[in-house]
Amino acid sequence: MNGFQIVVCGSLVPDPLQTLEPVTTPQGPGLKNETMLPSVLDPWSAHALYEAANLAKQTAGSKVYLVSLGPKAKLQQLMMTVAQKVPFELVALDGSASGFTDAHGVAAALADAIAAIPGLDKSRLLVFGGCASASRDAGVTMQLVCERLGIRDFFAGVDEIKMAEDGSFAVLERIEGGEYLASTCKGAPAVLAWATGNLPEPPNNPQVGMANMRGVMPSLMKAKPTPAGVGGIAYEATEIPPQKRQTRIVKDASTDEIAKEIVEWINN
């Protein structure tokens, strides 16, 4: 086997420590001061990227690609930190990373970008991504990418992948009740939507960062404008969920009394 071509789909999301306030813009719903908000790599996509790099390290001849859809200027800022984590080749798409974009449009853009990778060999192709997203959590994007690429094997909520010498692999997928569904796949091509995996965040490596940035900057310069709007979705209103807090200090209450009061409060 000549190794895998591992394509990771992942983009930026607003830093979760920021206060996000929805507003209506001429292009549709968005976030207040969205261009000024600090961004991070989507947490689920980050897990997929680390797992891809680990698999590539274990399998000789493998290569990792990161396909990212987002505003070009913000992608450049993000890559200054992400590039120091693991080796990859960036495929940048200049478009909206808003949480209000339509999953079908995003999936179409990602699938087209993957299919256009020079020298792509589907018999060696593994597509990784997050099973969810911190912004556009439709939960279907990776499956739509899978269908558009004409790949039959799709795994969701993946926490572990174990490769065999013949190119087949075993997968653990999260299911209800804190249990796993164990599956075996004959080999590539396949699409895996990752949960949190088992790997920690890699430490920063300036040498890896410098090597990655030699390819990141040209990729950003030639990033094509990619329309990814809200599709046929109509938003009547967007607002921050209201907060409600009622506090009472009670001493010496039994657990049964506390539980009963909580149930009554919920029912009311």
Give residue limits of the domains in the chain: 5-225
What is the enclosing helix (H) or strand (E) of 57? helix 43-58
Give percent above pLDDT 70 in the chain. 94
Choose the CATH number for 5-225 among 3.40.47.10, 3.40.50.620, 3.40.50.10490, 3.30.750.24.
3.40.50.620
pLDDT at residue number 229: 67
Question: Token pair for residue 129?
Answer: 């991504």
Peptide bond into 38 cis (omega under 30): no
Which pLDDT tens digit goes with each residue over 99-147? 777 888 888 999 999 999 999 999 999 999 988 887 766 778 899 999 9
Handedness of CA 55, 56, 62, 68 (dihedral sign): positive
157-206: pLDDT as tens digits: 999 999 998 889 999 999 888 889 999 999 889 999 999 888 888 999 99
How many Cα atoms occupy the beta-carbon half-sphere of 11 within 13 Å? 29
For residue 50, CA distances in Å to 136, 218, 234, 247, 262 come to 21, 23, 36, 43, 42
Predicted TM-score (pTM) of this structure: 0.82
Residue 65: predicted pLDDT: 95
pLDDT above 90 (res 224): no
The Cα 247–Cα 114 span in angstroms is 53
**pLDDT higher at 21 or 185:** 185
Q: Please choose, from the candidates 104, 95, 98, the residue with its C-alpha nearest in 3D space to the C-alpha of residue 72.
A: 95
